[in-house]
Chain A
Amino acid sequence: MGLLENKFNDNVIVAKLDKLMSWSRSTSPWFFQFGLACCAIEMMAAAASRHDLMRIGMIPRSSPRQADVMIVAGTVTMKMALRVKKLFEQMADPKYVVAMGSCATSGGPYWQHGYHVLKGVDIVVPVDVYVPGCPPRPEALIEGLLKLQEQILQERPLTRKIG
């Protein structure tokens, strides 16, 4: 801080632009409600009255353009996999993906004889946080989302790595 320290009253904060951007991105990620199967009900329960998702800054948005996080909740099938990829590509940067439930993580209980089930959504989109469970409790989903927020806070979008 140096020169400008203690020159103003306490209502001025001085920080790096990097940190400011990642702080503002992490504390209000709006999620793309992509509920496919049973995990979607637990996602709805997490957004409803008892476990409130809005207190950590998340609102459900139905259009991919307006969302930052895509929570893939439920089993992804082959027929749906092409659409998941398309929707992920339609989201605007910066975007993150949370794989909720064991079906989205690795195929879930359908891994052995499911000919139509995609064994994990990370085959078609890059995933940031995996939340295991079948279905994961709303508290587990909230923990996963808080971890995602910590991860976003560590990012430095304006610095470039050299080498």
Chain B
Amino acid sequence: MGIVHGQEMVLNIGPQHPSTHGVLRLQVRTDGEIISEIKPFIGYLHRCFEKHSENVTYEQVIPFTDRCDYLASMANNFGYVVAMEELMDIKVPERVEFIRVIMGELQRIASHLLALGVYGLDVGAFTPFLHMFRDRERILDIFEMTCGARLLYNYMWVGGLSHDLPVGFMDVTYNFLDYFEPKIGEFNDLLSHNKIFVERTADVGVLPPDVAISYGVSGPNLRASGVKWDIRKDEPYSIYDRFDFDVPIGEGIKGSVGDCWDRYYVRMLEMMESVKILRQALSQIPKDGDVHQTIPKKIRPPKGSIYKRTETPRGDLGYYIVSDGSPVPYRVKMRSPAFTALSVLGEIANGWMMSDVIAILGSLDIVLGEIDR
């Protein structure tokens, strides 16, 4: 019997598509259902963040950084503020540092909950999405109590914070932590060890560690490939060196090291580590300290440049800030982790079927606002 020769088809996925996590266009070349080449096209959400940051003052850049990675705005603020304080040599009070860590870790839990809930939705499971959103709403309530906003906070300012913790914050947060810890076991029962989920994600889209480093992948994606790299432990900033937590890496429990299931499970384990850090921070936070004390009246950094990395829920976020001595920045470049994570899609998605590509894309956890800036 002879070989049937088909013809390759060029298809478009997006920019409007329910499972592309935003406005992303994927141009795929397929032979039947198997994909031979995939090219991502981005730029549908390019909002000129870098041009804006050259025309407004240093404090006014902070709301723009919020809107880049809109699922983890506290983490974006944190990165910018840490870079600016190192450039200007400002030392903030202890209480401010503790509050920043608390907010950063709460934001990490919220972001991972959304990422995992939406990943379940991509793969076909609707129930975990509703459960995870219910728990995420409780975290957003805590944020709303503190600074008034649910999604885009503008909370961390250069040299301090915009609001101090409200009365009753500790009780509410402890209640939330006590409520949330058993929930992780519930999510594991619902989704992680579910046979259908494991069949769809184990051994799919394996990312080898040297490819990952060459493509600049970082954060949970890199840790799932077996490389133990976490900026909070390896190049600590703020007061992360005082806390005691593990860095989970992927071990290939259900398949090979670095497959989609590993990337999913590393995020689940990271939520547990965040709960540990939160408990330690809440018990050690100093009772007094003014959060507005070291905010400079006029921000005029000395001439120079700085590149500083921090760990957001998506990976290493880097800010390259160049200052020429005036109150307006000369250049602010944001190096986003999702940009590098998306660039590796063209490499690891070849040879899989169409629905596997959706599973791989979901496991990389991209946010288009951060990629396009």
Instruction: Contact check, B130 vs A49: say whether CB atoms are below 8 A apart.
Output: yes
Which listed residue, A33, A35, A37, A48, touches B130 by the CB 8 Å rule?
A: A48
Instruction: Contact check, A116 vs B130: say whether CB atoms are below 8 A apart.
Output: no
Type the 1/0 row for B113-156, where 1 means its CB is closer than 8 Å to any CB of A. Answer: 01000000000000001110110010010000000001110000
Q: Which B residue sits closest to A51, measured CB to CB?
A: B137
Instruction: Contact check, B22 vs A36: say whether CB atoms are below 8 A apart.
Output: yes
Type the 1/0 row for A78-93, where 1 means its CB is closer than 8 Å to any CB of B. Answer: 0110010001000000
Which listed residue, A38, A49, A77, A80, touches B70 by the CB 8 Å rule?
A: A38
Confirm or deny: B342 has a beta carbon within 8 angstroms of a beta carbon on chain A. no
Which listed residue, A45, A80, A113, touches B45 by the CB 8 Å rule?
A: A80
Instruction: Contact check, B44 vs A79: say whether CB atoms are below 8 A apart.
Output: yes
Q: Closest Cβ of chain B: how far from A147's Cβ, in Å?
A: 21
Instruction: Contact check, B133 vs A113: say whether CB atoms are below 8 A apart.
Output: no
Once A77-B46, A109-B64, A117-B47 are accepted as A-B contacts, the answer to whether A37 and B369 lie under 8 Å apart by CB is yes
Confirm or deny: B43 has a beta carbon within 8 angstroms of a beta carbon on chain A. yes
Chain B residues with CB below 8 A from A134, complex form: 152
Chain A residues with CB below 8 A from B44, complex form: 36, 77, 79-80, 83
Confirm or deny: B360 has a beta carbon within 8 angstroms of a beta carbon on chain A. no
Confirm or deny: A115 has a beta carbon within 8 angstroms of a beta carbon on chain B. yes
Confirm or deny: B17 has a beta carbon within 8 angstroms of a beta carbon on chain A. yes
Chain A residues with CB below 8 A from B63, complex form: 109
Q: Which B residue sits closest to A34, measured CB to CB?
A: B16
Instruction: Contact check, B70 vs A113: say whether CB atoms are below 8 A apart.
Output: no
Type the 1/0 row for B50-84, where 1 means its CB is closer than 8 Å to any CB of A. Answer: 01100100000001100100110000000000000
Confirm or deny: A68 has a beta carbon within 8 angstroms of a beta carbon on chain B. no
Which listed residue, A38, A83, A117, A137, touches B369 by the CB 8 Å rule?
A: A38
Residues of chain B at interface, number, CB under 8 A: 33
Bound Cα distance A42, B137 (Å)? 11
Interface residues of A in 144-160 (CB under 8 A from B): none
Q: How would you classify the secondary structure of chain B's contact residues: helix, strand, loop or mixed?
A: loop
Interface residues of A in 111-162 (CB under 8 A from B): 112-117, 134-135, 137
Bound Cα distance A80, B22 (Å)? 12
Q: Which A residue sits closest to B55, measured CB to CB?
A: A113
Once A48-B129, A49-B134 are accepted as A-B contacts, the answer to whether A38 and B16 lie under 8 Å apart by CB is no
Confirm or deny: A110 has a beta carbon within 8 angstroms of a beta carbon on chain B. yes
Confirm or deny: B341 has a beta carbon within 8 angstroms of a beta carbon on chain A. no
Instruction: Contact check, B51 vs A115: say whether CB atoms are below 8 A apart.
Output: yes
Confirm or deny: A41 has a beta carbon within 8 angstroms of a beta carbon on chain B. yes
Instruction: Contact check, B129 vs A87: say whether CB atoms are below 8 A apart.
Output: no
Chain A residues with CB below 8 A from B137, complex form: 45, 48-50
Confirm or deny: B23 has a beta carbon within 8 angstroms of a beta carbon on chain A. yes
Confirm or deny: B253 has a beta carbon within 8 angstroms of a beta carbon on chain A. no
Interface residues of A in 63-106 (CB under 8 A from B): 74-75, 77, 79-80, 83, 87
Confirm or deny: A62 has a beta carbon within 8 angstroms of a beta carbon on chain B. yes
Q: Closest Cβ of chain B: how far from A94's Cβ, in Å?
A: 21
Bound Cα distance A44, B137 (Å)? 12
Q: Which B residue sits closest to A110, measured CB to CB?
A: B47
Interface residues of A in 1-60 (CB under 8 A from B): 33-38, 40-42, 44-45, 48-50, 60
Contact sample, A vs B, 11 pairs, CB 8 Å cutoff: A38-B67, A38-B70, A44-B133, A45-B140, A49-B134, A60-B18, A62-B18, A83-B16, A110-B48, A113-B51, A135-B151
Given contacts A37-B70, A49-B131, A80-B23, 5 further A-B contacts (CB under 8 A): A40-B22, A42-B150, A48-B134, A50-B137, A74-B45
What are the 6 tightest A-B residue pairs by CB atom distance, in nearest-first order?
A38-B70, A48-B133, A62-B18, A49-B134, A114-B48, A80-B44
